[in-house]
Copies of this chain bind each other. A is one copy, B any other.
Amino acid sequence: MSIIESIPNLSEGRRPEVVEAIASAIRAIAGVRLLDYSSDASHNRSVFTLAGEAQPLKAAILAIYEQALAHIDLRTHQGEHPRLGAVDVVPFVPIEGVTMAQCVDLAKEVAREVATRFNVPIYLYEEASNNPARKNLEDIRRGEFEGLAAKMASDGWTPDFGPSMPHASAGASVIGARMPLIAYNINLSTDRLDVARKIAAAIRHSSGGYRFVKAAGFELKDRGIVQVSMNLTNYEKTPIFRVFETVKREAERYGVTILESEIVGLVPAAALNVVAEYYLQIAGFKAEQVLENKLRAT
């Protein structure tokens, strides 16, 4: 049995009835588990976390498109989060008993079916894309829904599947395969936003930092502190502890300390185990030494 995770991001976070209709459509698919879903009103966006084998997941994504096309219209959509489409992003993530290559195949199969059935143009991204200019979500999404028609007509932006113009109400979608992503924030004992921004710039890939870190500095006004907010896109190659230690050292030069960190949502056990291995200097640790893993494997 294999487990693939999919985390569709939809451009609706203010109408609970629409979010619930989408959740119900997912729950109606046998073989798919809806692990989590949450909405952000200021982003006007909802994130669903699904798990299952390839074919049930595909059915669930198609059911999501049906709901999204019926209820979401990007022409009147407003929110703080950048977005390109009603179903904005659909990543497939290998969890257990499945390879990245199989998740790439699934992404392409779903992309083709969505384009055919709903006439929504699809850009493949991350591991599912062979085009260096179109691997990164931010690059594909730049210009957002409002700039999409012009972008699609420009050189190099013909979609991978579907028509070469936006769907009138649903825009376009980005579908692909990637490693599990860890949403990780570090809060600093200061209200100096410039410090959070300088640290974010120091550690993120786009400005010279770690290969698998995306980061930005934010104010948490109600608490009077600032935050380095991150996405860790490959915890095997850029592990959490290395990012944490680098943020700590960078903060020191500004006379600032780390107040706390937080993991938002889910984290693979392996990403935490390597943290323990690192700080405790554990030599020769194996995943089978975790009692729960052993119990399940025997």
Name A residues whose Cβ lies closer than 8 Å to a Cβ of B. 3, 5, 33-36, 51, 95-96, 180, 187, 240-241, 244, 258-263, 265-269, 272-273, 275-276, 279-285, 289-295, 298
Contacts and interface: CB of A to CB of B under 8 A. Distances in A.
Contacts of A279: 241, 244, 275, 279
A54 to B, nearest CB: 16
Dominant secondary structure of chain A at its interface with chain B: mixed
Given A241-B280, A279-B279, A272 B260 contact: no
Contact of A298 (B35, B280, B295, B298): B35
Given A261-B281, A276-B276, 11 more contacts: A3-B295, A33-B295, A36-B294, A187-B283, A241-B279, A261-B282, A262-B282, A262-B284, A267-B289, A269-B291, A269-B292
Copies in the complex: 2
Given A267-B289, A267-B290, A282 B295 contact: no
A181 to B, nearest CB: 11
Contacts of A285: 262-263
A52 to B, nearest CB: 10
13 contacts: A33-B298, A34-B298, A259-B281, A260-B283, A261-B282, A262-B283, A263-B289, A266-B294, A267-B290, A269-B269, A272-B290, A275-B276, A279-B279
